Each structure stands twice: as C-alpha cells, then as structure tokens.
Amino acid sequence: MRAIMVVMKAWQAVLGAKVDFLTCYLDRSKDAELENPKKALVKQGKTGDYFIRRFFIAITGLFLATPALAQGVSDEIILHPDVHIVPLAHNVWRHVTYEVIPDGRRIPSNGLIIKTDKGVTLVDTGWKIEHTQMLLDWVKSNLREPVTAGVVSHSHRDRMGGIDVWLRNDIPVYGSFLTADIAKRNGLQPPNRPFVFAARLSEEIELYYPGPGHSIDNIIVWLPKSKILFGGCLIKSADAAILEPVDGSNVVEWSGSVFRLKDERFNAEIVVPGHGEPGTLSLVDHTIRLGSMAKPI
C-alpha cells in the first residue's frame, strides 16, 4: 500500500491535478479543449514525452526526499507478522519482533543482524524462541554465513527470550557479568561469554557498559565502520514522551549513563533504540531530556 501511495503522489505531481483510478480531469476553462483534450495538450506542447519526463522527475524527487520510505517499501522483509527484517546499512539489518504485553499493547523490539568477514553476529534474540529460530533460519538461507556470536543487551525477555536457541546451536553469547548474574538468579540460561565493562568482538563490533538506566545491566553496541550505535532500551525513540521505567530501572542515573554516549568516539550516523524507529544522535539528547524530567521511582 505504501508503494502504491508513493507512485500515486508522483503521478499527481506529473499532472498537477488530482488523480483517481479512472480519469485525469483536464482544464475545463475552454469548451473546445474539453471536447478534444488530446488536441489541447498538443497545443500546449504537452506530448507523451513531456508527461514521461515529469513522471520520472517527480518520482525521483520523492524517493530522494524520503529515502527511509523508499527503502522500507522495497526492502523490508516480513518473515511473519511478528518478525520483520529491515536493512540499515551495508551488511547490517535491524530485526523487529512483536509481542503483546499484559496491558494489551503490541510492542516492537529492535535487534541487529551484522555480517562481517568472520561470520554473522546477532544482537538480541527477539521476544520468543520462535522469533529467534526464524531469524537464524533467515541468516542461514540468505546470508549463508555461520552465526559466530550473539549479544544480549540486558536481561529482559525482549532481549534474551530466545537465548536457548543460540546456546543449542553452540553460538557464543556475549553479555555483561551483571546480565549473567541476573539470568542465573531468575532461573534463565546466562550468556556464556560475560564481560565486565567492554568487549571487542572484532574491528567492526564493540560492546560497552555505560552504567545503569533502563536496567542495571544495559549495554550498548557500537559499530565503528558502519557508524551505527545500538542503544537498546537505554535509548528512547523520538516519539517517546517519557522514560517509562520498569522494575529495576535506575531513573536517577539514567541520564548520566546516556550522557557518556556523547563521547566523540561514538560519532554515530544511525542510532537504534530498543523500541521504535531508528534516528540520529538526537535520540541521545532526547533521552537525556526525558531523564531530566523523570521522577525517581
């Protein structure tokens, strides 16, 4: 449907008038022209070539003005109504999985698929085991590279709900020592490659613990070559009006932890929050502002 709307907008720009599926209404100011619209168009110099040129100019302008829409229309992959994959950059994709939470809202959760020379790294599992398995199957069928690492950005279900699938497939799973400890205490499988403050998986993937916020154990993933910062649930999307803390959130320190991401090493062009649409580094400032307005719980 979005693709149809883009083309219709372009066609509307071509004709300079309202378009419907049956007819394009011409200038009715002259009866003679209305009787013979083709002749009127030729008289004005508006031949077939004229309309073709205007069509391609208009549609090119639309796609240049809205690259995210153009990419989303043509490239979004829907494996299941609850499992989507969207390209972010060369060899980097955002996976989005959906779950209905107890209050009835259907919540999207973001993760990453990163293809490197050493194989594929997955960031966060998605909500469910089924989601994780679908993503693994897609990687196997389409990227045709082994999954050499998984990363869980904290201990909540939207981040590690499918960790059992990774471990059954002998995938090394990275997460903070805090995440491993919380998982064990909650009777869950912990990440088997825990780290304290930072870990470098390759020249393309770095993990950092900036401090508590959404959770005590939230980490971020930095892709220096792609200039993508995966902030996970520490970072809020542009449409978020509040921090929306959960049990275990540290509202007092949240802004300070996010402020550390303003370090010049994180010169990101794309910032991916845990939920909602990606943006720029403005999401970092947006989250800091929300934190400054939040009341401790």
Going by C-beta distance under 8 Å and a sequence separation of 6 or more, which residues neighbour residue 89? 226, 228, 270
Alpha-carbon span 285 to 271, nearest angstrom: 11
Output the domain CATH number for residue 285. 3.60.15.10
State the residue range of the domain holding 275. 78-293
Give pLDDT, residue 296. Answer: 72
Quote the pLDDT of residue 297. Answer: 64
Count the alpha carbons within 13 Å of 184 in the hemisphere toward its beta carbon. Answer: 10
Tell me the three state secondary structure of residue 283: helix
171 with 60, same domain? no
Residue 248 lies in a domain: yes
pLDDT of residue 294: 82
For helices 67-75 and 48-65, angle between their N-to-C axes, nearest 10 degrees: 100
62-69 long-range Cβ contacts below 8 angstroms, 24+ apart: 62/6, 62/9, 62/10, 62/13, 63/6, 66/6, 69/2, 69/6
How far is 143 from 125, CA to CA, in rounded Å? 17
Structural domain ending residue among the three candidates 14, 38, 68: 68
Read off the pTM: 0.76
For position 295, what pLDDT does the model report? Answer: 77
Mark whether 242 and 199 lie in a shared domain: yes
Residues 16 and 96 both lie in one domain: no
The alpha carbon dihedral of 280, 284, 286, 287 has a sign of: positive
How is residue 19 annotated by DSSP?
A: B
One domain, residues 192 and 161: yes
Could you tell me if 82 and 64 lie in one domain? no
Q: Are residues 210 and 115 in the same domain?
A: yes
Query: Are residues 133 and 26 located together in one domain of the fold?
Result: no
Query: Which residue among 15, 43, 68 closes a domain?
Result: 68
Tell me, yes or no, whether 63 and 89 share the same domain: no
Quick one: 163 and 233 in the same domain?
yes
pLDDT tens digit at each of 297 positions of the chain = 444 343 344 434 333 333 332 233 223 333 333 344 344 434 444 444 544 444 443 333 333 333 343 344 358 999 999 999 999 999 999 999 999 999 999 999 999 999 999 999 999 999 999 999 999 999 999 999 999 999 999 999 999 999 999 999 999 999 999 999 999 999 999 999 999 999 999 999 999 999 999 999 999 999 999 999 999 999 999 999 999 999 899 999 999 999 999 999 999 999 999 999 999 999 999 999 999 998 776
Q: Looking at the structure, tell me whether residues 265 and 238 fall in a common domain.
A: yes
Cα 63 from Cα 70, distance rounded (Å): 6
Alpha carbon distance 74, 77 (integer Å): 9
User: In this structure, what DSSP letter does residue 133 have?
Assistant: H
In a domain? residue 167:
yes
Out of 68, 91, 126, a domain closes at 68
Together in a domain, 46 and 182: no
The tokens for 216 are 């005590």
Question: Hey, how many other C-beta atoms are within 10 angstroms of the C-beta on 295?
Answer: 8
Is 73 within a domain? no
Structural domains of the chain, count: 2
Asked, for residue 217, whether it belongs to a domain, the answer is: yes
Are residues 131 and 206 both part of a single domain?
yes
- Residue 290 and residue 251 in contact, taking contact as beta carbons nearer than 8 Å: no
CA-wise closest residue to 146 among 125, 172, 127: 172
